[in-house]
């Protein structure tokens, strides 16, 4: 793992030293009306004028893909001078001036509208490099300015986004977009709306003390990394495109107009840019992605925007504003109910929240408040009433949402639609009746009615038979390209007999067709978006290790997530720890074997898969035990976290196995460390062990587990090193107290870290 990180770091460092092969001379000029270009030496990129979307009479200057393998309509713009700056008039131009500045000149205004401000740097030439970076050079060697340092909405491979820098999404108009991606000095990437609403972040909590030292970079292999720019570009956080490490010539990362951050790869076969990763899996969770409308998903799985007020608004409402207005309503107000709808104010975005309140009280409070336009009530164990005081409201509608929204509207009767012709209704009274005609008509109607009913019965019968056959065949036919079975919630219920037999925390015994036993694990649906869950399941289906429970299939439906694993006959480690009878099966030898098996499985995930895979939630509840009590990890591959998180969780799992004490919050026991440091390590071993334990082995296990759970993650070993220690092939020094953050004492931290790794090298 350390070698892989080093090689990756070196590849990120060396990109800035590529050989200069061609130059753009001082005085060179591109003119709008001439359609000329500055092209990179390899022909993959070109700099020239283009029309911004929906602005046919304006021109911006930018860099776009130019490879002959990409059709002209797919040659995406990856950099724009001045981001939203544009010019008019065919005589406007872009020039590398004699004093070394790049200048965009608008002839219709007679003034420059953008320049690089590099006249003091003695620029001798410019170069559009093969990686798409436009650079200004001094003495034809030293880079004094580069387009990679002034990104617009896109990052190319090996282009860095440093602290305090940002991307801004392109806009459909000349006005700047509200969506931005910020590289915070705290070490996080954040997606924001109007600079103050953060709706996604990279979650990089481990490096928040390295202010200003962390940057983001897209690799040519298809990974988005946060790297420590002080330590050989060491990755500290990462996400991967679904085609990571595949042979792909062109990639880019873009903040799209809909507010989502996506990674794209050029697909030669289909001739399109394929999105291979996106930050917010559920597009409707992007703040204000529909403006003042409501976001929902159609039957094809695509997000769309609709106005929920059109069905009852009394006046035309083209901007889809909340219908309530204080003035002009004569008959009072009422509240219209929308189930499965979550609303939030956007201008301003300052919903007030009231807790511990009922839905009826929430609705009544808004009805009585002249400033309130709508409320959303949700109760996920903590009842909340979210009050909106603006007519500019956005929202998200989905059957899986438990939220209920109430929208205030006027009670005045709606005017008759003037486009509907009223017409006159004429009632004609009949003074005589033709009895034979009446009988004939009645008989004919009765016959047709009976024939119609019979047809419906036959149709329903045939349809049910067909559905029953489809349902019976579905287990074997519903598979994805990786060979995993895809189940419905109803099939999961049938498989587990409505979750009858519990064999672990949210793990149930199931029976597949042909009487194959499986373990069905229910996952928290709120933790993983549907698209990400399906993608992760497909990747996990390709992983094979004797200590990883094999994934047979999954279910992702109706807001629920299930994983179907090979059956583990003896339940989970947690079951054995908390049950006095079951715990007797876990002998000392079996416990140490389990520690080593889990360490090897994590080492496989971290270093031996096609790409780095984290577990992210390792605990005694998701480690199952097979027929011979061999460890089988579940839930792996569904979280994105750094390796040191898994190392920390592993140490806590080992502590539980050794002591027999399960701490639900996973807090390292100071008592165990105190007993060990004071020479009473034998007292920490589970008292239920009847066959004794190896004292030397206990010492080695305790030392490595305390290194694993160090509060300073920099001191934690890799899983490869942990495996060697548990195997007895490496010695390890005594660790410092794990529950004291070594960062508060730099001297101690340095000494402790050196002591550990000197031992590992010996």
Q: Report how far residue 290's alpha carbon sits from residue 225's, in angstroms, rounded to the nearest whole number.
A: 29
The share of the chain scoring above pLDDT 70, in percent, equals 80
Q: What is the CATH number of the domain that holds 496?
A: 3.30.200.20
Contacts of 318 (CB under 8 A, 6+ apart): none
Per-residue pLDDT of 513-529, as tens digits, reads: 767 889 999 988 766 67
Distances 252 to 64, 244, 270 between C-alpha atoms, Å: 11, 13, 17
What pLDDT band is residue 14 in, cutting at 50, 70 and 90? very low
- 696-723 in b/e form (b: 16+ CB < 10 A) is eebebbbbbbbbbbbbbbebbbbbbbbb
Q: Report how far residue 241's alpha carbon sits from residue 540's, in angstroms, rounded to the nearest whole number.
A: 15
pLDDT at residue number 444: 53
Residue finishing a domain among 566, 582, 614:
566
Instruction: Looking at the structure, tell me whether residues 344 and 275 fall in a common domain.
Output: no
pLDDT at residue number 124: 95
Average pLDDT, stretch 373-377? 95
Is the predicted pLDDT of residue 548 greater than 70, yes or no?
yes
210 DSSP assignment: S
Q: What is the CATH number of the domain that holds 598?
A: 1.10.510.10
Average pLDDT, stretch 680-708? 90
Total number of domains in the chain: 4
pLDDT at residue number 24: 94
Instruction: Looking at the structure, tell me whether residues 136 and 258 fall in a common domain.
Output: yes
Return the minimum-mean-pLDDT range out of 46-55, 204-213, 519-528, 697-706. 204-213
The share of the chain scoring above pLDDT 90, in percent, equals 45
Residue finishing a domain among 384, 410, 436:
410
Return the minimum-mean-pLDDT range out of 309-313, 378-382, 445-449, 742-746. 742-746
The DSSP bridge partners found for residue 228 are 214, 234
pLDDT at residue number 758: 36
What pLDDT band is residue 760 in, cutting at 50, 70 and 90? very low
Instruction: Looking at the structure, tell me whether residues 86 and 211 fall in a common domain.
Output: yes
pLDDT at residue number 234: 81
Is the predicted pLDDT of residue 211 greater than 70, yes or no?
no
Determine contact, residues 605/636, Cβ cutoff 8 Å: yes
Instruction: Looking at the structure, tell me whether residues 671 and 642 fall in a common domain.
Output: yes
Average pLDDT, stretch 565-587? 88
For residues 66, 67, 72, 75, the Cα torsion angle rounded to the nearest 10 degrees is -60
Residue 50 lies in a domain: yes
Structure tokens at 749: 């931290």
Contacts of 693 (CB under 8 A, 6+ apart): 588, 685
- What would you measure as the largest C-alpha separation in the chain, in angstroms? 116
Instruction: Looking at the structure, tell me whether residues 729 and 586 fall in a common domain.
Output: yes
Instruction: Looking at the structure, tell me whether residues 537 and 630 fall in a common domain.
Output: no
3-state secondary structure at position 361: helix
What pLDDT band is residue 212 in, cutting at 50, 70 and 90? low
Determine contact, residues 379/402, Cβ cutoff 8 Å: yes
Average pLDDT, stretch 156-175? 83
Residue 83 lies in a domain: yes
Q: Report how far residue 730's alpha carbon sits from residue 717's, in angstroms, rounded to the nearest whole number.
A: 12
Instruction: Looking at the structure, tell me whether residues 184 and 200 fall in a common domain.
Output: yes
Is the predicted pLDDT of residue 510 greater than 60, yes or no?
yes
Distance of alpha carbon 243 from the chain centroid: 16
Average pLDDT, stretch 461-472? 47
pLDDT at residue number 365: 94
What pLDDT band is residue 53 in, cutting at 50, 70 and 90? confident
Other beta carbons within 10 Å of 345? 24
Q: What is the CATH number of the domain that holds 390?
A: 3.50.4.10
The DSSP bridge partners found for residue 183 are 189
pLDDT at residue number 88: 86
Residue 457 lies in a domain: no
Average pLDDT, stretch 363-381? 92
pLDDT at residue number 557: 86
pLDDT at residue number 667: 52
Average pLDDT value for the chain: 81
Is the predicted pLDDT of residue 119 greater than 80, yes or no?
yes
pLDDT at residue number 743: 34
pLDDT at residue number 316: 60
Per-residue pLDDT of 216-267, as tens digits, reads: 999 999 999 999 877 667 888 899 999 988 899 999 999 999 999 999 999 9
Determine contact, residues 394/344, Cβ cutoff 8 Å: yes
Residue 708 lies in a domain: yes
What pLDDT band is residue 173 in, cutting at 50, 70 and 90? low
Q: What is the CATH number of the domain that holds 98?
A: 2.90.10.10
Can you state the angle between helices 719-727 and 588-603, rounded to 10 degrees? Answer: 150
Residue finishing a domain among 259, 282, 305:
282
Residue 474 lies in a domain: no
Average pLDDT, stretch 273-301? 92
Q: Which residue segment(s) compose the domain that 222 sits in? A: 2-282
Instruction: Looking at the structure, tell me whether residues 156 and 257 fall in a common domain.
Output: yes
Q: What are phi and psi of 665, to 5 degrees?
A: -90, 0
Is the predicted pLDDT of residue 592 greater than 80, yes or no?
yes
Instruction: Looking at the structure, tell me whether residues 489 and 559 fall in a common domain.
Output: yes
More confident residue, 153 or 579: 153
Is the predicted pLDDT of residue 463 greater than 60, yes or no?
no
Residue 93 lies in a domain: yes
Residue 404 lies in a domain: yes
Residue 289 lies in a domain: no
Is the predicted pLDDT of residue 22 greater than 60, yes or no?
yes
Instruction: Looking at the structure, tell me whether residues 113 and 214 fall in a common domain.
Output: yes
Distances 316 to 156, 159, 309, 332, 338 between C-alpha atoms, Å: 45, 48, 10, 20, 20
pLDDT at residue number 253: 98
Instruction: Looking at the structure, tell me whether residues 652 and 680 fall in a common domain.
Output: yes
What pLDDT band is residue 618 in, cutting at 50, 70 and 90? very high
pLDDT at residue number 414: 53
pLDDT at residue number 615: 93
Is the predicted pLDDT of residue 699 greater than 60, yes or no?
yes
Instruction: Looking at the structure, tell me whether residues 245 and 189 fall in a common domain.
Output: yes
Between strands 393-397 and 294-297, the pairing is parallel
């Amino acid at each position: 793992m350390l070698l892989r990180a080093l090689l990756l770091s070196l590849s990120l460092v060396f990109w800035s030293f590529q050989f200069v092969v061609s130059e753009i001379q001082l005085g060179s000029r591109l003119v709008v009306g001439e359609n000329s270009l500055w092209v990179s030496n390899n022909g993959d990129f070109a700099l020239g004028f283009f029309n911004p979307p929906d602005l046919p009479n304006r021109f911006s200057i930018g860099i776009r893909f130019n490879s002959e393998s990409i059709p002209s309509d797919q040659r995406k713009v990856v950099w724009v001078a001045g981001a939203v700056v544009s010019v008019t008039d065919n005589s406007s131009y872009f020039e590398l001036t004699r004093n070394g500045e790049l200048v965009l000149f608008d002839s219709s205004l007679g003034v420059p509208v953008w320049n690089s401000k590099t006249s003091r740097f003695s620029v001798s030439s410019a170069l559009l490099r093969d990686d798409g970076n436009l650079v200004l050079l001094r003495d034809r060697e030293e880079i004094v300015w580069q387009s990679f340092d002034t990104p617009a909405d896109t990052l190319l491979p090996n282009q860095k986004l440093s602290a305090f820098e940002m991307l801004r999404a392109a806009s459909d108009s000349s006005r700047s977009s509200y969506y931005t991606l910020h590289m915070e000095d705290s070490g996080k990437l954040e997606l924001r709306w109007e600079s103050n609403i953060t709706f996604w972040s990279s979650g990089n909590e481990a490096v928040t003390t390295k202010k200003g030292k962390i940057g983001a970079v897209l690799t040519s292999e298809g990974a988005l990394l946060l790297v420590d720019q002080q330590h050989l570009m060491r990755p500290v956080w990462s996400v991967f495109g679904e085609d990571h490490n595949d042979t792909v010539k062109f990639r880019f990362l873009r903040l799209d107009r809909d507010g989502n951050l996506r990674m794209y790869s050029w697909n030669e076969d289909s001739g399109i840019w394929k999105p291979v990763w996106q930050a917010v899996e559920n597009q409707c969770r992007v703040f204000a992605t529909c403006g003042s409308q409501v976001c929902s998903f159609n039957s094809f799985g695509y997000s769309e925007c609709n106005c929920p007020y059109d069905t009852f608004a009394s006046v035309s409402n083209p901007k889809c504003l909340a219908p309530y207005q204080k003035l002009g309503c004569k008959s009072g107000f009422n509240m219209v109910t929308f189930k499965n709808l979550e609303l939030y104010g956007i201008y301003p975005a300052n919903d007030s929240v009231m807790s511990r309140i009922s839905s009826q009280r929430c609705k009544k409070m808004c009805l009585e408040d002249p400033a309130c336009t709508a409320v959303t009530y949700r109760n996920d164990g903590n009842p909340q009433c979210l009050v909106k005081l603006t007519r500019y409201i956005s929202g998200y509608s989905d059957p899986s949402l438990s939220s209920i929204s109430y929208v205030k509207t006027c009670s005045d009767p709606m005017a008759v639609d003037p486009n509907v012709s009223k017409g006159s209704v004429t009632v004609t009274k009949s003074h005589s009746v033709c009895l034979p005609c009446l009988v004939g008509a009645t008989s004919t109607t009765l016959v047709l009615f009976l024939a119609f009913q019979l047809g419906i019965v036959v149709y329903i019968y045939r349809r049910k038979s067909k559905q029953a056959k489809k349902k019976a065949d579905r287990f074997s036919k519903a598979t994805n390209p990786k060979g995993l079975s895809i189940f419905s919630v109803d099939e999961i219920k049938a498989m587990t007999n409505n979750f009858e037999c519990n064999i672990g925390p949210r793990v149930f015994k199931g029976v597949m067709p042909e009487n194959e036993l499986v373990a069905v694990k229910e996952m928290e649906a709120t933790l993983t978006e549907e698209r990400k869950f399906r993608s992760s399941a497909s990747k996990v289906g390709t992983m094979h290790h004797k200590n990883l429970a094999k994934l047979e299939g999954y279910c992702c439906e109706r807001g629920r997530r299930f994983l179907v694993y090979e059956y583990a006959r003896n339940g989970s480690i947690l079951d054995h720890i908390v049950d006095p009878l079951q715990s007797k099966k876990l002998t000392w030898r079996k416990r140490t074997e389990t520690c080593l098996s889990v360490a090897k499985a994590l080492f496989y995930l971290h270093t031996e898969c096609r790409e780095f895979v984290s577990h992210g939630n390792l605990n005694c509840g998701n480690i199952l035990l097979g027929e011979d009590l061999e460890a089988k990890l579940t839930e792996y591959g569904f979280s994105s976290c750094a390796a040191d998180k898994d190392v920390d969780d592993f140490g806590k799992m080992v502590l539980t196995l050794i002591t027999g004490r399960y701490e639900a919050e996973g807090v390292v026991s100071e008592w165990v460390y105190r007993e060990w440091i004071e020479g009473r390590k034998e007292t920490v071993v589970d008292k239920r062990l009847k066959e004794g334990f190896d004292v030397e082995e206990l010492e080695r296990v305790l030392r490595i587990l305390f290194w694993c759970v160090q509060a300073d993650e920099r001191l934690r070993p890799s899983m490869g090193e942990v495996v060697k220690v548990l195997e007895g092939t490496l010695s390890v020094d005594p660790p410092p107290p794990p529950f004291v953050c070594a960062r508060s004492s730099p001297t101690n931290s340095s000494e402790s870290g050196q002591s550990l790794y000197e031992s590992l090298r010996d």
